[in-house]
Amino acid sequence: MRIAFYGSSLLSSYWNGAATYYRGLLSDLARRGHRITFYEPDAFERQQHRDMDPPDWAEVRVWPATEAGLAAVVAEAAQADVVVKASGVGVFDDELLTGLMQAARADAIRIFWDVDAPATLGALREAGPGHPLRKALPSLDMVLTYGGGPPVVAAYREFGARDCVPIYNALDPTTHHPVPPDPRFTADLAFLGNRLPDREARVEEFFLRPAAALPQRAFLIGGNGWDSKSMPANVRHLGHVYTRDHNAFNTTPLAVLNIARDSMAAVGYSPATRVFEAAGAGACLITDAWVGLELFLREGEEVLVARDGADVAAHLQALTPERARRIGAAARTRILAEHCYVSRGAAVDTLLREKASRKWESAA
């Protein structure tokens, strides 16, 4: 099928946590025979911070973030068998949704793909019935989400979605895997994530509090926005970490920390891309607690779970290099067996083919 996918960016992970997710899923769909065109706006300096060349498995169309650019890419939706509008494009989101659903052919499959369901659902509740997405939901063929589990599925159905299916983050073992340690990323505990309002308090609790409590240990933080944040002297800030360095960032430290944003921790069933990247690299992962974690990793065997900063500090003090390696190896084995993008791509491929068959049958 010809898939027109309108998202934030495929080529750049700069302020764009969905990049790895898009790459893993769409490359697998391409291997299954789908022809993909990815439309991304030239916005937020992402094109100046590319960490990937245009791939051979998708055509990437970078469009100017103007009304003329919007009109041009919306018109191209009429050529596709599947039209996908992702959340969080960042520019003209409402106009894209409305325009694409109007431009899509009657026999095309229309999908809203939500890469931040807690935030989107919060906006729907606040805006009320007049929100463009809420008005569009009954006419969409399906909503796909990268997390959220049963609470998100129920919420979307209450808002009028015909169907909602979680397609979780996963691992692409061809891009995320163990590599030799890199001295740039030497630390006892490393955290990678951009500074966001609904994560900052949790970073203070789960990362900065244990850093202050363990002044003799080395802490490393990567991501945008932290340069102006006051931190303990034993915390080193890297700034943006390009995708090409993620494997070394995960492999080198004694342990890697995952911290969910407030909304995702509250909803649960929302493993961040970093969880799978770290596991794929064989890292010993310490994560904050959230509902649904057991679907992906076993506590104490494949991941260490912290309820607060004191737990993080206790885990770090008790962790030996030998145990860290065992936990990382066990996590990698589990993720490789159950949570790679080949299985996620297979699920999406089945959904598309079943939906197309039903639409064609009803039109006959």
Q: Judge whether 2-170+341-363 and 183-338 match in fold.
A: yes
For 229-275, the pLDDT digits (tens) are 999 999 999 999 999 999 999 999 999 999 998 888 888 998 989 99
Domain edges within the chain? 2-170+341-363, 183-338
Note the pLDDT of residue 360.
Answer: 77
For 78-113, the pLDDT digits (tens) are 999 999 999 999 999 999 999 999 999 999 999 999
Query: Per-residue pLDDT averaged across 172-182, rounded?
Result: 96
**Residue 311 burial (C-beta neighbours within 10 Å; 0-12, 13-18, 19+):** middle
> Please, which pLDDT band fits residue 145 given cuts at 50, 70 and 90?
very high
Note the pLDDT of residue 265.
Answer: 87
> Please, which pLDDT band fits residue 359 given cuts at 50, 70 and 90?
confident
The least confident of 7-11, 59-63, 124-128, 322-326 is: 124-128
Query: Per-residue pLDDT averaged across 182-189, rounded?
Result: 98
For 55-66, the pLDDT digits (tens) are 999 999 999 999
Evaluate whether 79 touches 2 at the Cβ level (below 8 Å).
yes
Q: What would the two tokens of residue 86 be?
A: 């992702």
Q: Look at the chain and count its residues.
A: 364
Query: Per-residue pLDDT averaged across 297-302, rounded?
Result: 97
Rounded-to-10 torsion of CA 40, 43, 45, 51: -10
Amino acid identity of residue 52, one-letter, is M
What gap in Å lies between CA 3 and CA 77, rounded to an integer?
A: 9
**Of 361, 194, 186, 358, which is closest to residue 274 (Cα–Cα)?**
194
What is the helix, strand, coil percentage profile of the chain, to 5?
45, 15, 35
pTM (two decimals)? 0.89
Helices (H), the chain: 19-31, 67-75, 93-103, 117-127, 132-136, 149-158, 200-203, 209-213, 246-251, 262-267, 273-280, 309-318, 321-338, 341-363
Note the pLDDT of residue 363.
Answer: 67
Average pLDDT, the chain: 95
Q: What would the two tokens of residue 35 be?
A: 């022809």
CATH superfamily of the 183-338 domain? Glycogen Phosphorylase B; (3.40.50.2000)
CA-to-CA separations, 199 to 140, 228, 234, 266, in angstroms, rounded = 31, 16, 21, 12
Dihedral sign from CA coordinates of 350, 352, 356, 359: positive
Any idea which fold 2-170+341-363 has?
Rossmann fold (3.40.50)
